[in-house]
Each structure stands twice: as C-alpha cells, then as structure tokens.
Structure 1
Amino acid sequence: MRAIRVAIAGAAAVAVMLAVAPAVASAAAAAPAAVGGAGAYYSLAPSRILDTRSGPGAPAGAVGPNGVLHLQVSGRGGVPMTGVAAVVLNVTVVSPTVASYLTVWPTGGARPTVSNIDFAAGWTGANSTTVPLGSGGQVDIYNLTGQVQVLADVVGFYASDASATSTLGDGGDMVPVAPSRLGDTREAGDGGGPFDSGEMQYVIVDFGPDLNPYVQAVAVNLTAVNPTGSGFMTAWNSIGDAPGTSTLDYATGKTVSNMTIVPTTLCTPSTKPCAMFPEYVGLPMFAIYNQGATTDAFTDIFAVYTDTAIAAGLRFQPMNPVRIIDTRTSQGGHGALGAGVTAAFTPPTSVRGSNTFALAANVTAVSPTVDTYLTAWATGDQQPVVSNMDPAKGTTVANTADIPLGNNAAFNLYNHGGTINVLVDVQGRFDLPTTAAANTRVAIPAVKASKSPVAIAGSRMFRTHG
C-alpha cells in the first residue's frame, strides 16, 4: 500500500505511519494545523456524568421503551462549556429487561438509524462512543424497548476551536500505529497468568525517543476472556488510585471487548514500576485495574495521541452517525461473512474527504453462528494479530474502532469462524490537516512514501496487587 511516514525532527530510527488513500495526491504537501485548534483531542480524568440508578445526570429510574434521555455534557466532568466539537463517552447498560439497543446523537437533531450499543436481556456491558454535542451542550440517548439502566462516563473531547488551549494546553493529534498486542495473560512472560480481582497491570509502551516525550494518550482495545464471575476493568493514566468509573464490564464465562482512549503519563524514577526498572524511565505508561473476578485478558493498541505542537498527526471531524455497511442487506457491497473470509470495503465519499486517513466507527456483530472474532485494518497492509471484537455465538454486540484507510481508500474486515453479519456506523473521520503551520515546537522535515508501517518499538507489562 501507499503510506506516508511522518518523520519528527531528525527521527530516523522510529517514525509513525499513516495509511493513505491513493486519491490523496497532495498529501505530501499538506501542512500541519495550528497548535491546538479544531479537531485536537483532550483527555480527561474519567468522570461519571450519568447513572440512572441513582440520579446523577438524570432523574433516577430506568429508561423505558422508546424513551429518550437528554444528557447535559458541557460544563460537566471537565468538558468546557464552549469550544467542544464532540465528546468521547463510555456508555454502560445495566440489567436490561429485554434485548434492545441504545442510540446516542446530538440533541436537537433527528435520531439517526444507527445503534451505539446492542445488548441482550440481563446483560451488563459498555461501549465507547464519540458524539457531537447538540443544543445546549447536550446529547440524547434513546432506548428501543424494555427497561434499562444507563451509565455514562466522559473520558475526553475533541475541540471545535483553539479556546481550550489557554486552560488545558495544546491537545492531541491522532496517529494510527501498526495494530499490536501489548499483553495477553494467556501467554507466558510479562503479564502471564489470569488477571485477579484487585490486581493492577502497568502497561509501558515505547514509541521511540523522538515521540515518547509528546505522547498524551493511547487508543486501546481491552478484552476479558472467560471470566470466572462478574466484574469490571478500569483504565487510566496510572497516577493515584483507579477512578470510580468502569471501562469494561464482564460477566461469567463471556468474552467481551471495549475500545477506549486512555491518557498516559511518563514513567519516572519515583513511580511504580520504574522505581525498580530505571530503563523504562521516560516511556509512556497507563494502568488497568480489575475488580470482581479472575479473568484472562489482553490489550491491543491501535493509535496514539501526540501533543499537537509536534505536528505529527490527524485531526478529528465529527459527523452525525451514519450507517455505511449492513451485510444483512448487502449495503456496502458484501453479504454475510463466512469463516476465514476477508472482505474489502470502500467507504462512500459522503464520509471521507481527499485527506481522510481513518474513520471513527461503531462496528456491530450480529448473530454469529459460532464464537468468533473480527479484525479491521487498512487494505494493502498485512493482517495484524489483534481483534476489534470477539462476539460469542448468537449474540449481537458492538464495539468502537478507529479504522485506517489504505489502498483505494478501503479497509479490510476479517471474520475468523462461522458466518456473521456486520454493521458499520461512522461517527467521524480523521483528516490530515491542510491549514498553515503555527507555533509548532518540532517541525516535520519530510513526508515520504513507504510500503509498510513501522510498529511500536516495544512494550512491557507489570502486575501488582493494590
């Protein structure tokens, strides 16, 4: 495939690769956007802004059939009152009475024909969603049928302008990396052995010396495999105790995934585990806490968010959610995916521009005939050894994915086993900026073609109790 390597101020050993659609003839000449500004991402300490069980964010009480909840987001959980284009929410459903789904969209607009989280009766689980703010800084949450309790944790936002820079700094650019598995408790070595309740994983990732100091967050997929009971995991920047929120909820014997954007911190000589391993000082780090039951787990990384002042990545353009693929009706050009099938999909031009390198999407797996997993990646790249979601036989589940676009502006979707239908709803796109550079601390000397992306330089996982 064609790709562009973003080389940062003399970085020869480590660079970051962005998948490119062949239509981007002028990508090499595109200039980085101003520091901060529209499309920059701001990580927040995870904060619960909605819990219908007890009242925060809405009157206490389950959301009923065809019920719509209006959730105030701006001004809460660290989200500014102005200058916000879209927010990243982790939405959790608790004890629904029947199978249903939720749709989240900007208040004041028409409800789109998409779903953000699909669930079975009695299921407790979460899915991340990126949604523009609507009237009054609110979003609407719709439940199709039955009764369901709903939680929402805000983890970050994308800026609509540069107003946040004066109080929150520069924000971050999104940089896709070669999808990689950072740790798997089923494997020997770092992080080996089941993840016990009350245990913490410290995850250290090396992106190379020219990028490490500027890393602000990572986009990772957390997966719990065959838990011995019900529980949850929480991911955060590893500073202090785990926040009072959940990133991934799991139930006995169920394999479940959730993608999230986790803020990072730089490992220092005074923090665990770098106090014992000084060779990791200066590397980005985050933590995952497990509470409730013993489970196997793995963590896959798909993107990194860097300080916008090094002008190295992509900016987010939100949109009202829109469905581009439904294999039940062959929307998108393919029917149901069989075992071992890889299908290539080219998104319509209505959801991508000439400088679009990736899509923010919600992927829903519908009634697989066996337990399986799905993997999405840029067409023209080698299939990565990761999964975007791991649906069980007969279930309908969803997970967020940042999907890079490759040859012919397309991406691949692989199904491992059985037959499965897949829905893809686009929530926004990541574009290479074309505005003039301003106030960049580290200039990009060259943007050059290359055949294959560069993976992360390495990673290490440590386990501890408490």
Structure 2
Amino acid sequence: MTVFPPHSGPRVPRSRHRLAVQVAGLFLVLATLLSATVASSGSAGAAPEDNRYQPSFVGAPYFAPGAVYTENFPDPDVVWDPETQKYYAFSTTTGGVYVPVMWSTDLVKWTARTNHAIANPNWQFHDALPDPSPAGSAWTSGDPRFPDGLWAPTVAKLSGSGSSAWVMFYALRVNDAGRHCIDYATSQTPDGPYTSPKQFFCSTTPLGVIDPDVFTDTATGKTWLMWQDQGEVGKYWSSLWMREISLTSAQSVDWAPSSTPVYLMNAGAAWENGVVENPSMVRTSDGVPTLFYSGGLWDSVGYSVGMAKCGPLQFSWTPICSRVGSGQSMSARQGMRGIGGSAVFSGADGANFIANHYWREGIEPGYPGNQRRLVSDRLHETPGGIAFSHEQGPVGIAASSGYVSVGPTRVLDTRYGFGTTSTRALESGEVFTLDLSAQTTSTTTAVTLNIAIDGAVGPGYLTAYPCGDPPVAASLNYVDAAVAGNAATVRLNPSRKLCIYVQSSTHLIVDLQGRYDSAVNAAITPVEPTRVLDTRPSNTVPAGGFVEVPIVGYAGVPSGATAVLVSVAADGAAGPGYLTAWQCGGKRPTVANVNYGTKWPAGNGAIVPLSQSGSMCVYSQHRADVIVDVFGYVSASGQRLRIASPTRVFDSRTSLGVVGAGQTVPVQVTGAGKAAAGSTAVEVNVTATDARAPGWVSVFPCSAPPARGSETAVLNLVTGQTKAAHVVVPVGVSGTSAGQICLRTQNATHLVVDLSGGYN
C-alpha cells in the first residue's frame, strides 16, 4: 500500500460524483482494505509561528475563542463527557481553524473553546487539532494552516492495554487530485489539544477514504472504525465500511487482531445520486445495528439522511445493511434544507441523538456562498421506525383542560406561503414546525385542527404531534394529488409548537378550530352517536347552497350548549369539492371541513359553534347529499380532557388479523398506559386499512351497542385504501365493558386505534 504525504493544493469545493457500478471495483476496494496497515508514527510537528487569522472560505466567520458560535459547522460530530458534564462538537475545517471545537450543556447554545493557555485571540491555539500533519510529512504549497482537505473529524474515548485516551480520527487530503487518507491524534481531554498525529490508513482508489466515525457496540463491547470509500469516477459508486480497532497505548490505535473489513453498503437508491457517506451506527432497542448515513449531492437540496438495518457485524462479500424502505429518512424541515453529515451520539440521559448540518431555507446550497449549521435531534424509536426531533417534548399527562372555540381559522397554507416563508410543497420526509404561541395561551395544552393535503406526489401519510415527542400514529392517509383532510386533536410542547411529518411530498393546509386550556371551565359532554341530518335520497344540497341543522333539543344536546361535536359527510357529489360547517347567522368561513370526490362518500369530524337558536349550517361547493352525526357538545359544565402523547391501543394487523364483515371488536382504552380509570369518554383516531370492499366503520361504547342496521358511521371504507377519522367516544363505566369502546365494520378490513386522551 502506498500512503501519500499531505499536500495543500489550490482551494476547491468538496466534490461528490455520480458514479457507475462495476463489480470489479468492489473487489479492488475489498482487496485494498484487507491489506491496509497502520503507517509509521512519530512525534508531532510544531505549530507554525507566523499564522495570522484567515477564514477557510469567504463567508465563514472567524471561529473566535470563547465566543458563542452559530455559523458554518459542516460534518459535525458530538460527544458527551460525563466528567465535565458538557457536550463537545467538532467539524470540518472552517472559521480559521483546522478542527473547530465548541461546548454546550443543552445542545442549543454552543461556545467555542478558549485558547490553549495563550491570550492572543488572533493565534489559532483554541484549535482542537493545532497541527494535523503526521510526522515526516509537510505541506508543499499554499497556506499550510488552511488546507482544503481536513474533513469530518470524529472523537471518541477509547480504553485498552491499560490506557485510555480521547482519539480524533479525521480525513486529510494528500494530493492535488483530492485524494484523502484517514489520520488520528490523541488527547487526555475531550476538547484537546489533540497531538501526536499519525497516518492510519488509505485505500488504493484514486479518491481514497473519508468520513471516519467510531462505533462502540453496546452488545459486544467492541469498538469499530467506520468510513466511506469514495469510489472512482466512471467505475464504481462510493461505499461504506467498518473494521474493529483497539487502543494499544495512550497515543496509539491499531486494527484489532484478526479483524477484517465489514462491507456495509454501497450507493444504489435513486435519491442517493451515487453517493453514500458519513456512516454512523447505533444498536437500537430491537438489538439490530442501525446505520445512519448521508446520501445525494452535498451541495443540493436533495442531500438527505438515510437509514438501514444491518446483519451480523462480520466479513461478507455482499453488503450486510439493507435500507429501510428507500433509505431516505430526513431531508428537510422548516428553515432547513439538505440535512446530512450524520453522527449518532449518546446524550446526558443515555438517549440516542443524531447531529447533522443543514443549509438555511431560501438560499440555494452552494460553495462558498452559503453555510452549513449544526442541528441535533433526539432519536425516537417507534414501531414504525425512527423519528427525529430537535424540540423539547411534553412530559407526562397534561393538566385537565376545558375547551374554547377559536375558529375555524386558517393558520397554514403552503400553497400560498401563508404561515410559512415560501410557496413550495413540503418534501418527502419533511417535518414542518407550526408555532401556535400567538393563537394560544400559556395554559393551553392542546388544539383541535383540520389538517389537509393538496397535490401529493403519491400515496403517503402525515402525522401531527407535539414537537419533541413523535408518535407511531398517522393523522391522515392520502393516495393521490386530490385534496384530503382529517380532524385532529394535538398536544402542544412547552413552546406551544406542534410538528407535522409528511411521508411523501405535498402541500399542507391547517385550520385551527379550538384549544384545550387548563384555565377554562367550559367542557365537553360526549353523547351516544346520533344522526341528526341525512339529505338522502331527495333533499340534496344544491351547488353553492347550504342547509341549516337544528342541534339543541336533539341527540341529548341541551340549551346552553355553545358548540357541538359532529361528523359531517358528503355522498353522491356531482363534482370534487368541499363542505364547510359553521355557526348559522355568522359569516361563512373560507375554510373546508370535508373535501370530497365523486367516487365514494367522504367525511370528517369537527367541533362547530352553535347559533343563538342552537343550530349549525353546512355549505356544499357542489351538489351533494349531506349527513351529520352528533357525538357530544360543549357547555359550561362537562368533562375535561386530559391529553397525553398518542398511544396505539389496538392494531388488528398484529393481533386478531382482518376484522370480518359485521364483526364487533372491543378495545380497552382505560387503565395502565391508557386513559385514566374512571374516564367516561376517550378521544381516538380510528384507521381502517386494506379494506376488502366499500363500507363503513362504527364506534360506540360497548355498554350500549346500536341495533344492527342503525349504526352511525365514523369513517367510510374504500377498497384497498387507508382511511382515518378522529372521534370522541363514550366508554362503559361498570361491568365487563368498563373502560371499553367497540368497533363494528360493515365489510372486512384491518382496524387500528390510537388513543389521545380521556375525559373525566
């Protein structure tokens, strides 16, 4: 193996290439890695004595000692040190230093390291790596302190052979063609200075190896070095590898005895554009090694975080990791594009986090006009996979809360840039953060919304949740570009924000209907589902017309009720359109409660304010039949909601199997991990998936089942599709049906129930 000495050539942007696959290339890489050895070591070279401040590129502010830093920080790596009780973050060369290092106690405010006992702030002795050049090598051109090619440092504390040390691995450019090798240096403190740099290994491929990351396996205690082989233009794609390492002294690292490289994966998914890089791994609670990586072109909005599940960590001629779905798991969120540069780390509480960089929204990613900034997300494991959140989530069950109608009021419409900074659709996998602090109070615990999509690029789902606490549940499922919506009650996080994840690219529309507030006395009284309007077969609402629906005095709704909980549906529509439900006598709002097509019935839940005469009105854009069912009402006295994070309490796919036509299924919704015992009603999202035929699903208290043929539908089945509805349902309070709700389906389908909270 040939190891080239470091060389500083002309400054060029970090490049990534679209590469073609050749099987022969795999054998070349594998043979190279199997023969890779540790290069000779020696003492570190002295730091230059005449270096003055110089940024690594135009637009990267000086990384000033001891100052808060919020600017360029690409390819971040983060570690937690229990001794100092601080997080330390490291990045690719920027801001005038080889390896910037900054510390934080909360992963939000980051402060650059102070100087290494030198007072002059213009000298670069707050650099974590004052001299990266291994002994016996020298820069041969350009400014020796600011090479183009020191990339993606990673830091870990290693132990072995009676010693321990903080070890930094980094990729260092060694020739003008952009070839990189991996070097390392050591320190006795996490923030450095890291000294005694040594060359570790290269591959014989023209562009070499980059993006080192250390993974300590909690299951085996083994420590691994991961990296990317950059591949070769026109021959084969980039690929990801790992190999076991060991600390042989306080200043030396070697491959573990008898270890061999492990082939993780190569680029192949369309979104990766021939590039996989920045490998990082964690063993998730299922015991499976889970690989996070970045894919796509680094300076594009398509750059994303990928995820794969891996087999046993041992030699294989084929990749041991398989993408979860397409692999693409996070690409953008509000104000952030091109998220990547992944590094998984353990937090102060033992939870897993992931650090990435991102480009600011509205600035086309590019070099050197834009900067990449650090963001850290908590990894939330769910039965559906991994969810990411950089917000603080709510804790425990919220205080019991009354209800206030505040709308409906539109708070977001990405089609027109309302409530956001652009008119673009959300990208697949994007999370949108919706700040509702202006529409709520400090005592607000949750909000009721109507959430709709428009122009989806394909089938998918969205999930609305309190930022920082993503659930398993879906709030809305969609199949095509047509407008579709669903009601949702969503808890807010301490900052009064909620997050919305979209599986496939779509525009997003959100209307606020009301809020739950611990300081409000008005509350909800659930009633047994009762139909109060059905215009079929002869009283169809004309296009542009409306129907007034008396509510007070019907379905158990008394005088004094200020709003009503209803399910509103359209059937037999003459064309695609919408229904709007509102308080009769008031101005009709310019929002939709139900979006319908012409092929099948469509419905949705709503909490609608009542007029002084106790009625509500329903408008239809096109000629359609309208059906209204009552589920409860709001008044000065009633039951208060105690909302928690959504919990899946029933899923026939993992328990009973397909629910048969006409079958009734009981679901326990109170007790440990569910709504509090004694709750008289619950708020649930009911989902039907893989329906065998058109039909309906009804939900009711098991203690009061409706007669066959008189059921009230909460959602309509569409063959092969997934449909969901949000509903408040009374529960049994005594006997064998205590704490239960029942579901009945007209035709065979799978059913899923997600619990949001209980009323008491």
* Alignment TM class, shorter chain as reference: 0.7 to 0.9
Give the paired residue count. 353
Give distance in 2, aligned partners of 1:242 and 1:211.
23
Is 1:158 the equivalent of 2:504?
no
- Cα deviation for residue 388 of structure 1 reads 0.6
Partner residue in 1 for 2:550: 204
Separation of aligned partners in 2, 1:52 and 1:211: 38
- 2:426 matched to 1:63? yes
State whether structure 2 residue 675 is matched by structure 1 residue 339: no
Shift of 1:399: 0.8
Contact 1:57 1:72 in 2 (8 A): no
Aligned pair partner of 1:112 in 453, 471, 476: 471
Q: Confirm or deny that 1:238 pairs with 2:584.
A: yes
Is the CA contact 1:101–1:115 (under 8 Å) kept in the aligned structure 2?
yes
| Deviation of the 1:296 alpha carbon | 1.6
Counterpart of 2:746 (choices 391, 416, 423) is 416
The reply on whether 1:121 has 2:480 as its aligned counterpart is yes
**By how many angstroms is 1:80 displaced?**
2.8
RMSD: 1.8
Per-residue CA deviation, residues 347-386 of structure 1 (Å, 9 max, x unaligned), is: 2521121221111111111021100100010012131531
Deviation at 1:207, TM superposition (A): 3.1
2:526 to 172, 176, 189: 176
Deviation at 1:395, TM superposition (A): 1.3
**CA deviations over 1:146-184 (Å, ceiling 9, x no partner):** x1011000000100235xxxxxxx4x2211122111111
**Conserved 8 A contact 2:703-2:731:** no
Amino acid at match of 1:327: S
State the partner residue of 1:140: 499
1:172-199 CA distance string (max 9 Å, x none): 2211122111111114xxxx42221111
1:140 alignment partner AA: C
Question: 2:605 and 2:557 mapped to 1: Cα distance?
Answer: 23
Structure 1 residue 297 displacement after superposition: 1.9
Q: Matched residue of 2:727: which SS?
A: strand
Question: Partner of 1:367 in structure 2?
Answer: 690
| Residue 46 of structure 1: aligned partner | 408
Q: Give the deviation of 1:220 after TM superposition.
A: 0.5
In the alignment, residue 298 of structure 1 is paired with which amino acid? I
Listed as ranges, the gaps of 5+ residues in structure 2 are: 1-398
Describe how 1:42-441 pairs up with structure 2 within 5 A.
42-59=404-421, 60-75=423-438, 79-107=439-467, 109-145=468-504, 147-162=505-520, 170=521, 172-187=522-537, 192-207=538-553, 212-267=558-613, 284-291=614-621, 293-308=622-637, 313-330=638-655, 334-347=656-669, 349=671, 350-383=673-706, 385-406=711-732, 407-417=737-747, 419-431=748-760
The answer (yes or no) to whether the contact 2:670–2:740 under 8 Å persists in 1 is no
- Identify the range of structure 1 (111-120 vs 236-245) with the bigger mean alpha-carbon deviation: 236-245
* Aligned equivalents of 1:240, 1:260: Cα separation in 2: 17
In the TM superposition, what whole-angstrom CA distance separates every residue of 1:104-135 from its partner, at most 9, and x where no partner exists?
A: 1112x231111000110223111010011114
Does the 8 Å contact 2:557/2:633 carry over to 1? no
**Aligned partners of 2:669 and 2:755 also within 8 Å:** no
Q: CA deviation at 1:390?
A: 0.8
State the match for 1:443 in structure 2.
Answer: none
Q: Which runs of 4+ in 1 moved over 3 A?
A: 210-213
Q: Distance in 2 between matches of 1:226 and 1:134?
A: 41
Contact 2:670 2:739 in 1 (8 A): no
SS at match of 1:53: coil
SS of the residue aligned with 1:265? coil
Q: CA deviation at 1:251?
A: 1.3
Q: Deviations over 1:428-452 (max 9, x none)?
A: 2111xxxxxxxxxxxxxxxxxxxxx
Structure 2 length normalisation: TM-score?
0.45
Contact 2:440 2:515 in 1 (8 A): no
Distance of 2:598 and 2:702 partners within structure 1? 36
> Who is 2:232 aligned against?
none
Q: Which amino acid aligns with 2:667?
A: F
CA contact (8 A) 2:573 2:597 kept: yes
Q: Distance in 1 between matches of 2:489 and 2:693?
A: 30
- 1:97 counterpart letter in structure 2: V
SS at match of 2:703: coil
Alpha-carbon shift at residue 38 of structure 1 (Å): 4.2
Q: Distance in 2 between matches of 1:71 and 1:394?
A: 32
What is the identity percentage for the equivalent residue pairs of Structure 1 and Structure 2?
A: 26
The answer for the alignment partner of 1:16 in structure 2 is none
Maintained 8 Å contact 2:578/2:596: yes
Deviations 1:287-317 (A, max 9, x none): 11111x2112211111111113xxxx21001
In structure 2, the CA distance between the partners of 1:213 and 1:94, relative to structure 1 (3 Å rule), is same
Contact 2:536 2:625 in 1 (8 A): yes
CA contact 1:228–1:253 (8 Å) conserved in 2: no
The whole-number CA distance in structure 2 between the counterparts of 1:206 and 1:111 is 38
Task: Find the aligned partners of 2:516 and 2:561 in 1 and give their Cα distance.
Answer: 16
What secondary structure sits across from 1:246 in the alignment?
coil
Distance 2:472 2:557 in 1: 40
Partner of 1:278: none
Following superposition, the deviation at residue 211 of structure 1 comes to: 6.7
Higher relative contact order (CA 8 A, sep 6+): 1
Rg (Cα) greater in structure: 2
- Secondary structure of the residue aligned to 2:559 is helix
Worse-matched range after superposition: 370-379 or 131-140 = 131-140
How far does residue 74 in structure 1 lie from its aligned partner after superposition? 2.4
Structure 1 residues 32-77: Cα deviation after superposition (integer angstroms, max 9, x where no partner):
xxxxx941100112100000101112232111111000011121xx
The AA in structure 1 aligned to 2:534 is: D
**What is the TM-score of this pair, normalised by structure 1?**
0.73
Equivalent residue, structure 2, for 1:444 = none
Q: Distance in 1 between matches of 2:525 and 2:558?
A: 13
Distance 2:506 2:459 in 1: 10
CA distance in 1, matches of 2:594, 2:607: 12
1:45–1:236 Cα contact (<8 Å) kept: no
- For residue 653 of structure 2, give the secondary structure of its aligned residue in structure 1: coil
SS of 1:390's partner is: strand
Kindly provide the amino acid, as one letter, of the partner of residue 428 in structure 2.
Answer: P
Q: Partner letter of residue 376 of structure 1?
A: V
Task: Indicate conservation of the 8 Å contact 1:92/1:124, yes or no.
Answer: yes
CA distance, structure 2, for counterparts of residue 175 and residue 223 of structure 1:
22
